Structure formats: C-alpha cells, structure tokens
Amino acid sequence: MNSICFSKGTAAQLVCAAAFLAFFGVGSEAAEGDPIAVRVWPGGTVTVQSHLGLSVAVQNDASTPEGSTPEGSTPEGDLPSNESEAGEIPKSSATISMGESGSYVLSRPANQAKATWKPVTGGNDSTDDEPQTPNDIRVNSLGGKAVHIQLDGVDLVIAGSDCTAQTLETISSIDAVIGSNLQRFASEGDKMLPAHVRNWISDSSSPVESVKTHDQDHNTVAVSMTTQDLKSDSTAVWWNISTQPW
C-alpha cells in the first residue's frame, strides 16, 4: 500500500484522538481513566481508536474469505484498510470483517513510522518474532459470534448475529458490548443483562429496564478501562446512539 497515504491518515487520527480526549476530559460522559473512542457507522461498521492513534474497523459483513488478506497486503506487510461506500468512514489502520476467525496484533513499536498487522501464531496473545508492547491492539475474531478487541486496558466486544450470553461469559471482563438487537442478551425471567458488562452501545436496540439509559445524538462513545472505583459501581449504562458522525 501507499505508505505516504498511511502516514497522512495516521497523523489525522492522532489529531482526532487529541480532540476526542480534550472533549471528553471535561465531561461527565467519560468514565474514570483516559477513554478510547468507539464509533458506530451507518451499515453497522464499528471503529475503535487507541490513545496512540491506531484504529481498527470491524465490518458488519465478511468481504474477504476467512483467513485471507485483502488484495495488496501481506500478513506482515502493509495494513489492510476499510473503504466506506458512502465515503464517510475514515480509513482505519486495519480492518476485520465479522465472520472471519483468527487472532491478530496491531502494533507500532517505539521509533517506528509504520504499524504492523500480524496474526498471532504463538498462542496466548503472542507473535513469534517480536514482543508485545502496551500500545498494541489485540483482536480476536470468533467467526460470526463476535470480535473481541483489547486496547489501552479496555475490553470491547462487537457482537455478531450469532453472539449469545454464553459467548460473553467466555470473556471475564467487558467494558462495552457494541452491536444491534442487544436486548436479546437480557435473561427471559428477570430481564437482567450479564453483570460483567459495563456499557451497551447500539443505534438499533430497545433499552432494557435494568440499566441506566443514555440517549446520544452522535456516533461516538468514550469508554475507559475498569478501575477499582468502577468495579464498586454495578450500574451498567445503555447507550442509545445515532450514526451521525461526531
């Protein structure tokens, strides 16, 4: 891929990240700790952005065969990037489609101009040829069930159509679940949602009475890592958002 275009995109992402942190740093919507940006776009694409400016897009439908790499890139070469049909979604450092399976690490080591998108081959969130860094984004795609993303201490789950409450139980701590029809995770008896999920983010779900509801007229939510203070607060938040870009 064109490394010049990638560098320009990264610079723009860093500027957006700084603006995002400045905006939420003075508002009550940002949870304790430095938040990361979660955005939901028309058509179901979800993008997340780290403090370092790295970003991952999760597309609603698989656009490439399972385990394949988009044309023009290699597993350890330039990064795949998403293209919006409407031209509204900014390019991300890497893209994965719901329905794919596999684990990956998006990383930009210190003093390196380019980031890399590599499959996890050694198990336990490790790659064979280089150590992990605190700024890495780790992505675990569970087929049509979900995509689990870990970045800056935050655990996110983008829920696919096959995702169930049992799927969520396999992940010990979840800072946010993002997707559509999220009310399906409420138990039939008492309508309670899984207690280990702090935030539910959707533009097309009916709120559940057992959680606090927050209505928002744009597509961006600030999500931070779970702290001791947040662990003591058992109240989850249901975010009714718009796909209007922020």
Q: What is the pLDDT of residues 156-171, one digit of tens each?
A: 999 999 999 999 999 9
Reported as a pLDDT band with limits 50, 70 and 90, residue 122 is: low
**pLDDT for residue 2:** 29
Reported as a pLDDT band with limits 50, 70 and 90, residue 228 is: low
Q: Which of 76-90, 151-165, 220-234 has the lowest mean pLDDT?
A: 76-90
Q: What is the pTM of this model?
A: 0.76
Does residue 77 register a pLDDT over 60? no
CA distances, 58 to each of 70, 82, 91, 122, 229 (Å): 14, 9, 12, 24, 30
Distance CA 217, CA 228 (A): 30
Does residue 31 register a pLDDT over 90? no
Average pLDDT for 228-239: 71
Q: Which residues contact 29 (CB under 8 A, 6 or more apart)?
A: 214, 221, 222
- What is the average pLDDT value for the chain, to the nearest integer? 76
Residue-wise pLDDT for 130-157, tens only, equals: 567 788 999 999 999 999 999 999 999 9
**pLDDT for residue 226:** 78
**pLDDT for residue 230:** 54
Higher pLDDT, 243 or 231: 243
Does residue 79 register a pLDDT over 90? no
Q: What's the per-residue H, E or C state across the chain? A: CCHHHHHHHHHHHHHHHHHHHHHHCCCCCCCCCCCEEEEECCCCCEEEECCCCCEEEEECCCCCCCCCCCCCCCCCCCCCCCCCCCCCCCCCCEEEEECEEEEEEEECCCCCCCCEEEECCCECCECCCCCCCCCCEEEEEECCCEEEEEECCEEEEEECCCCCHHHHHCCCCECEEECCCHHHHCCCCCCCCCCCECEEEECCCCCCCCCEEEECCCCEEEECCCCHHHHHCCCCEEEECCCCCC
Nearest to 175 by CA among 208, 139, 222, 223: 223
**β-pairing verdict for 220-223 and 212-215:** unpaired
Residue-wise pLDDT for 153-210, tens only, equals: 999 999 999 999 999 999 988 999 999 999 999 877 667 899 899 999 999 888 888 7
**pLDDT for residue 187:** 78
**pLDDT for residue 113:** 81
Encoded tokens for 157? 């789950």
The identity of residue 178, as a single letter, is I
**pLDDT for residue 101:** 93
Reported as a pLDDT band with limits 50, 70 and 90, residue 227 is: low
